[in-house]
Structure 1
Amino acid sequence: MTTTSPAASEPPVLAALPPLAARARSVGASPVREILALTARPEVISFAGGLPAPELFDAAGIRAAYDRVLAEQPRTALQYSTTEGDPGLRAAVAGRLTVRGLPTDPDSLLVTGGSQQGLALLATALLEPGDTVLVENPTYLAALQCFGFAGARVVPVPTDADGVIPSALEELVLRERPKLLYLVPDFQNPTGRTLPLERRRTVAAVAGRHGLWIAEDDPYGELRFEGEPQPWIAGLAEAADRTALLGSFSKVMAPGMRLGWLRAPAALRRACVIAKQAADLHTSTVDQAAAARYLADNDLDAHLAKVRGAYRARRDALVEGLDSALPAGSSWNRPQGGMFVWVRLPDGHDATALLPEAVRHDVAYVPGAPFFAADPDRAALRMSFTTHTPEEIAEGLVRLSRIFG
């Protein structure tokens, strides 16, 4: 007869696992990504997502590029690659930057998994826990997440309708001694604002005088549909040796390809290459090769002209319809490009508290409060105009008007 001891039939007592890293416990999820999940129902007209219009993707041209790459160079396109990125793609990006007024050598570029990875690499290469980063207030949500994971101390710079206020920036640089200033100068996320040339020169001069790095994030610059292009801060003499310029194909080609690039001075770029080696070895070889092939075989500028025309009509539909949709005393801007309109409801309104009621009416937006590093404006909200036609935008505004009675 076989007997089983009581100890053998009882579940083992297991020790508690070590906790998650402090950074994982202190940095929250993106409210925008969570709102997108809530509004995924097809009947919802969503002004929430910062997404390019999917019907405007050049799917046929992109498919042809993949077909050519896989037919002509499958052994290299499906193989491991260098961390720095596909030489043909870097040459194409360098050429586009040079034509647009920023002379660029292909070797000064690092291909990344979207510009978001470029920002993460900069944080890894530059920031020690406790270092100070200055940001626009409000600023891009995922940048706040990125700096939070790096353990940085984030200090907001006051802004007005034209972006960071120069006197406030200088005062904060002198007082806080930051290591990095993060900016989205063109059609900023979330506000849609563009930093004027004189303020760009002031930013460059401040960085030159006081010794700090600048991360210049430019995912929207090629989506200008009126007004004159402004020069990059990276191209201004005082800041050329201390500015990392981030770019992306997500808004101009397809976000699903997850392709971006980083242009930086040699020492910083090399540090980012090493950080990328530790993160993912290299960006997808086949996606890079297809993007390079697409740029060689197609006229991206002609495609962007079509996209800009559609976005301009959608911006106009949104801006011109807001007066009838929002309560008296509301205000909003009219961006010259990009994807976003920044709205402020009258004092006493809370955009976060009103969002569930909006969703019940099958319309959505993003509350403005989470975009602030400090002192959130609860009456503010961000509205994207890119993913719906003018007719759908009009219907969405009718629905939005119902929550204000």
Structure 2
Amino acid sequence: MSLSPAASVPTPPLAGRAVGGGGSPVGDILAVTARPEVINFAGGLPARELFDAEGIAEAFRAVLAEQAPRALQYATTEGEPALRGALAERMTVRGLATGPDDVLVTTGSQQGLSLVAQALIEPGDTVLVESPCYLAALQVFAFAGARIVPVACDDDGIDPAALEELVIRERPKFLYTVPTFQNPTGRTMTAARRREVARIAARRGLWIVEDDPYGELRFAGERLPWIASLPEAADRTVLLGSFSKVMAPGLRLGWLRAPRPLRAACALVKEGTDLHTPTVNQLAAARYLADNDLDAHVARVAAVYGTRRDALLAGLPDALPAGSTWTTPEGGMFVWARLPEGHDTAALLRTVVGFDVAYVPGAPFFADRPDHGTLRLCFVTQTPDEIAEGLRRLEKGFAAAR
């Protein structure tokens, strides 16, 4: 006898972690910016007109012409040797001695972050994050069952005294940090703070997860060393990198450099997640690096981004309410602003989008007590003229909301 549809037994429920997050902040941001008429300060999207589309296309053509059977076949979980070797060389040149076997290729650095979380976090473990913090990292850690605790920060990055106090009290598994051109604030941790963070991790027993998707996009100031390159941190730092901001995000290519035991654990997790990152994309990226000067391309992109940052900063005094403050990043993609007391940027956004302009309210970037007066502005996606027009719309939107 078969059951009628009305009498069917309900299916088991979804996992709590899949339904308990109150929606997707990333998805909400992308939905806001979907209309083509909107001038989009909300997304973290690189400028598509600056992609080296022909150079990338030529790399794919060469790979498919010369080694199609290999490019279209399964590959090892750790990644293609040619790409791992090229990545190791780039890190070594930048002061972090690295061999190909130190590198795990990932499907974007976002996957690298997820692999580390799955390899290190048991449900209930504590993870320390910057305040505010990259919101998709907060999602990853929450999905892994972590207890997320923010560390106080200022314009120089993480407060070392606050960090050490929390490490002693909370006994966390790791600290997650974006020390260079941080998302969302654009700030950069000073060299002195990086050394202090490394020393605390060594002294107190702590993993450091150093995420560096923006570090090459510098248009002012001097490059600072990775935390991973400091002697105190050498045996306890995971460095995440990505081609998304310097080559093209659609390739979904990132990498993870970590001490062997953790790297091996991450490879096992990846094997059970997607087996390996697409072979053809890896080989095309390796070919692009062999045939082109990526550093020269990145320098051209960073110069354009610097001009766009300047255009945004020039217009903010008129666009934002009197008494607002904001950061002045030396690179990356974002400016972080704080409106005067009493303003709620999430509530204001409902009015502002009616003027065909968008930003990201700051509240989702906080692991606890959100600052509702904050917002993030991405300055790289639009031209200076578009930025100026967007700021005029923003000024009108804030005025209409008063």
- TM-score, length basis structure 2: 0.98
Equivalent position of 1:123 in the other structure: 117
- 8 Å Cα contact 2:327/2:337 also seen in 1: yes
- Structure 2 residue aligned with 1:204, among 198, 207, 213? 198
- Structure 2 residue aligned with 1:310, among 298, 304, 310? 304
State the percentage of identical aligned residues: 68
Q: Write the deviation string for residues 96-147 of structure 1: whole angstroms up to 9, x where unpaired.
A: 1111111111110000000000000001111100000000010001100000
Q: Write the deviation string for residues 127-182 of structure 1: whole angstroms up to 9, x where unpaired.
A: 10000000001000110000011000000001111211111111111110101100
Distance (Å, rounded) in 2 between the aligned partners of 1:287 and 1:302: 21
Equivalent position of 2:159 in the other structure: 165
Equivalent position of 2:148 in the other structure: 154
Distance (Å, rounded) in 1 between the aligned partners of 2:132 and 2:141: 15
Equivalent position of 2:283 in the other structure: 289
- Structure 1 residue aligned with 2:253, among 254, 259, 263? 259
- 8 Å Cα contact 1:136/1:159 also seen in 2: yes
**Gap runs ≥5 in structure 2:** none
Distance (Å, rounded) in 2 between the aligned partners of 1:349 and 1:9: 56
* Matched letter for residue 140 of structure 1: Y
Change in CA separation of 1:346 and 1:279 when aligned onto 2, cut-off 3 Å = same
Deviation (angstroms), 1:30: 3.1
- Structure 1 residue aligned with 2:82, among 71, 82, 88? 88
* Matched letter for residue 327 of structure 1: P
Deviation (angstroms), 1:25: 2.0
Deviation (angstroms), 1:284: 0.2
- TM-score, length basis structure 1: 0.97
- 8 Å Cα contact 1:128/1:151 also seen in 2: yes
Deviation (angstroms), 1:280: 0.6
Which SS does the other structure have where 1:403 is aligned? helix
After superposition, residues 188-267 of structure 1 pair within 5 angstroms as 188-267=182-261
Point out 4+ residue stretches in structure 1 off by more than 6 angstroms: none
Which SS does the other structure have where 2:272 is aligned? helix
- 8 Å Cα contact 1:32/1:366 also seen in 2: no
Deviation (angstroms), 1:10: 5.3
Which SS does the other structure have where 2:245 is aligned? coil
Distance (Å, rounded) in 2 between the aligned partners of 1:46 and 1:9: 52
Q: Write the deviation string for residues 326-358 of structure 1: whole angstroms up to 9, x where unpaired.
A: 111000011000000000000000000001111
Distance (Å, rounded) in 2 between the aligned partners of 1:282 and 1:297: 24
**Gap runs ≥5 in structure 1:** 1-6
Distance (Å, rounded) in 1 between the aligned partners of 2:264 and 2:232: 22
Equivalent position of 2:45 in the other structure: 51
- 8 Å Cα contact 2:352/2:398 also seen in 1: no
Change in CA separation of 1:98 and 1:28 when aligned onto 2, cut-off 3 Å = farther
Q: Are 1:183 and 2:166 counterparts?
A: no
Equivalent position of 1:73 in the other structure: 67
Equivalent position of 1:382 in the other structure: 376
Distance (Å, rounded) in 1 between the aligned partners of 2:117 and 2:368: 20
Bigger radius of gyration among the two:
1
RMSD over aligned CA atoms reads 1.2
Equivalent position of 1:144 in the other structure: 138
* Matched letter for residue 300 of structure 2: K
- 8 Å Cα contact 2:354/2:397 also seen in 1: no
- Structure 2 residue aligned with 1:359, among 353, 357, 380? 353
Equivalent position of 2:363 in the other structure: 369
* Matched letter for residue 49 of structure 1: G
- Structure 2 residue aligned with 1:340, among 334, 354, 358? 334
- 8 Å Cα contact 1:333/1:342 also seen in 2: yes
Equivalent position of 1:3 in the other structure: none
